[in-house]
Amino acid sequence: TFFFVTHLMVRPLTPDAPQHHGSMFHQRLIANIVALCSCAIGILVTWRSSWLEGVSARRLELYATFELAVPILVVLHLDFYYAGKWQGLPSDEIGSAVGDMYFSDSRVLLSWALITVIAHMHLPIRWCLLIWVEIAVLLSYLVCIALGSPEGFTNVAINWVTLLALILSAAAGKRHVEYLERLSMLALISEKTMRFQSEFQLERMSSQSTTVEKMSDIVFEIDRYQSGGGGCIKSFALPRHGNLAKMGQSEHWLIEADQLQCFPEQLLGRGSFGVVVAGEFLGAACGDQIELRIAHAVAQRFIERASHFQATPPSKHRHVPRSLHHS
């Protein structure tokens, strides 16, 4: 609508001017159609988020950069003065074709400044890709200077320096914003890491404060069936082993005591979760993991009188069974 209103407001001054006026009208009309098509394609592409599934963020940034570069080039063809310059018309014929109109680079420069601000402040595009938009703006004004700016040399120099300062300021601001965003993300990750570490240390200290004597007094009774059909016998275990015992009976990984032989004098390893000693399971060499606090408290008595052992399932360290009960 703005395009047609400005076209109707223009009145040629000389009889020969309507021909040039019509040619500039067609050139500006084509430029408007190109700009509208670019906007329509951008709206259709981003209309539904499901259409963008599988598209990488870099490709979306490149597409947005291309959408910004198109109006930068179209602006030169929308201006009356530069539309005539593109056709090789001198300034006098352009003035007679468009009537009594003031020619200046202000409209072109303000349009480029608007596109630059939108690209750097409102669109999630990285600064390294916005360099192409900045280069497009600077090269476009160099084209204006080459075609012949309606302003004098002094005004052109001032416009060039001002445009360059605007672009450099926007680029520096965009880079600084990205730097602050990365710092905030690193601070958030560091805070979560420290919180997890402190919670782990607190849980470890609270678990170590519980003595073996208190735990050994709290036992409960579970049913154990002999593999030879001898019926059900009673066995005692720690409370936290109750769920493991039920799981072992249902999943059939609770083994008999005579199937495993331990050698406590052969220490294989020690860690925060217990000690591992050498052993044999059905004649095959293996390792037996015993909880550290139980090993310190009952040592040889626990190993010799253990009634059952927990064997690790085949999918998770099948050669390291864990002791389930103690007497």
For residue range 115-127, list pLDDT tens digits in order: 999 899 888 888 8
Query: What pLDDT was estimated at residue 18?
Result: 57
- Kindly state whether residues 225 and 180 are assigned to the same domain: no
Domain end position, chosen among 187, 207, 234: 187
- Kindly state whether residues 17 and 146 are assigned to the same domain: yes
Domain end position, chosen among 169, 187, 205: 187
Residues 309 and 282: beta-carbon distance below 8 Å: no
Cα distance between residue 88 and residue 104, in whole Å: 18
- Kindly state whether residues 240 and 183 are assigned to the same domain: no
Domain end position, chosen among 187, 210, 232: 187
pLDDT tens for each residue of 155-170: 889 999 999 999 999 9
pTM over 0.85: no
- Kindly state whether residues 224 and 146 are assigned to the same domain: no
Residue 263 has pLDDT above 50, yes or no: yes
Question: Out of 19-23, 56-60, 76-80, 129-133, which region has the weakest mean confidence (pLDDT)?
Answer: 19-23
Please report which confidence band the pLDDT of residue 249 belongs to, taking 50, 70 and 90 as the band edges: low
Higher pLDDT: 64 or 239? It is: 64
Higher pLDDT: 292 or 276? It is: 276
For residue 245, is it within any domain?
yes
Residues 255 and 321: beta-carbon distance below 8 Å: yes
- What's the one-letter identity of residue 30? I
Helices (H) and strands (E) in the chain, counts: 11, 8
Query: What pLDDT was estimated at residue 298?
Result: 43
For residue 193, is it within any domain?
no
Cα distance between residue 162 and residue 125, in whole Å: 24
Query: What pLDDT was estimated at residue 197?
Result: 83
- Each as own residue / partner, the long-range contacts of residues 53-61 (CB below 8 Å, 24 or more positions apart, any chain) are 61/125, 61/126, 61/129
- Kindly state whether residues 109 and 156 are assigned to the same domain: yes
Query: What pLDDT was estimated at residue 229?
Result: 47
Higher pLDDT: 209 or 173? It is: 173
- Kindly state whether residues 179 and 233 are assigned to the same domain: no
Higher pLDDT: 139 or 242? It is: 139
For residue 270, is it within any domain?
yes
- Kindly state whether residues 91 and 6 are assigned to the same domain: yes
For residue 199, is it within any domain?
no
What sign does the dihedral 272-274-280-282 (CA atoms) show?
negative
pLDDT tens for each residue of 166-187: 999 999 999 999 999 999 999 9
Query: What pLDDT was estimated at residue 167?
Result: 93
Mean pLDDT (whole number) for 46-67 = 79
Task: Report which of 142, 26, 23 is spatially closest to residue 73, judged by C-alpha positions.
Answer: 142
Residue with tokens 């939108």: 118
Residues 3 and 83: beta-carbon distance below 8 Å: no
Cα atoms found within 13 Å of the Cα of residue 304, Cβ hemisphere only:
5
Residue 41 has pLDDT above 90, yes or no: no
Query: What pLDDT was estimated at residue 164?
Result: 93
Query: What pLDDT was estimated at residue 183?
Result: 93
Query: What pLDDT was estimated at residue 273?
Result: 67
For residue 195, is it within any domain?
no
Query: What pLDDT was estimated at residue 283?
Result: 77
Higher pLDDT: 130 or 324? It is: 130
CA distances from 303 to 83, 223, 257, 261, 271 (A): 95, 21, 10, 9, 18
Residues 198 and 280: beta-carbon distance below 8 Å: no
- Kindly state whether residues 117 and 161 are assigned to the same domain: yes
Query: What pLDDT was estimated at residue 28?
Result: 76
How many domains are contained in the chain?
2
Query: What pLDDT was estimated at residue 168?
Result: 93
CA distances from 217 to 37, 103, 221, 239 (A): 81, 98, 13, 10
For residue 305, is it within any domain?
yes
Residues 6 or more apart whose Cβ sits within 8 Å of residue 315: none
Residue 239 has pLDDT above 70, yes or no: no
How do 232-237 and 220-225 pair as beta strands? antiparallel
Instruction: Give the count of beta carbons closer than 10 Å to the beta carbon of residue 279.
Output: 23
- Kindly state whether residues 138 and 254 are assigned to the same domain: no
For residue 58, is it within any domain?
yes
Residues 6 or more apart whose Cβ sits within 8 Å of residue 213: 297
% pLDDT > 90, the chain: 13
- Kindly state whether residues 146 and 255 are assigned to the same domain: no
- What's the one-letter identity of residue 326? H
- Kindly state whether residues 174 and 249 are assigned to the same domain: no
Please report which confidence band the pLDDT of residue 252 belongs to, taking 50, 70 and 90 as the band edges: low
- Kindly state whether residues 24 and 145 are assigned to the same domain: yes
For residue 194, is it within any domain?
no
Task: Report which of 105, 171, 172 is spatially closest to residue 140, judged by C-alpha positions.
Answer: 105
Expressed as residue numbers, the domain containing 293 is: 218-323
Please report which confidence band the pLDDT of residue 320 belongs to, taking 50, 70 and 90 as the band edges: very low
Please report which confidence band the pLDDT of residue 275 belongs to, taking 50, 70 and 90 as the band edges: confident
Residue 75 has pLDDT above 50, yes or no: yes
Mean pLDDT of the chain: 72
DSSP at 150: S
